A = this chain, B = another copy of it.
């Protein structure tokens, strides 16, 4: 199956949006890929033809098993390149997404497997997202909760659910990165903001938008 870059981007987007959902809407994909619903409909017909998605008009889109398999391989490539950029080329976590968005389309099994080995077969990327192995298996990922829903007092940052550089830059500025230990000082009901404290720093408050996108595990 030889896919174009555009087809790969659609497959990956559908995979991301499906997560639990039975079916993904035309509009959701268009929004995610910054394109127009009409373009999504056009592409849906092509991907259906290639048996990578199930699609009946007005009924939404979902990946076939083969489509899902391919999506996971693209995710693997994306996340391994992100690791490379951060671990080997000292990029910071807010700079790697766009570059990986291109590198993920260089298709060579040997390349990606050698890259994985070179990086020590990492199982999570710089944003805390799990990296599937060559067979598409995800290592059992620890139950993560978003900071706004976590109940424990002492937490460790284990991921971010939004990859936008605006969020990542904000977290950089506040000294929050993967592995950072956080103590929850107070939760304010009025706006759902959270006052937190990082070791050796004075406490500060973050908004609900931010806390929703910080994934944590309980220590």
Contacts and interface: CB of A to CB of B under 8 A. Distances in A.
Interface stretch (A6-14, A84-92, A157-165, A173-181): A84-92
A110 B106 CA distance: 19
Please give the count of copies of this chain that the complex contains.
Answer: 2
What size tier do the contact residues of chain A reach?
10 to 19
A115 B110 CA distance: 20
Interface string A103-143: 10111101100110010000000000000000000000000
A68 to B, nearest CB: 24
Contacts of A114: 89-91
Interface of A: 85, 88-91, 95, 98-99, 102-103, 105-108, 110-111, 114-115, 118
20 contacts: A85-B111, A88-B118, A89-B111, A89-B114, A89-B115, A89-B118, A90-B114, A91-B110, A91-B114, A95-B110, A98-B108, A99-B106, A99-B108, A99-B111, A102-B105, A102-B106, A102-B107, A103-B103, A103-B106, A106-B106
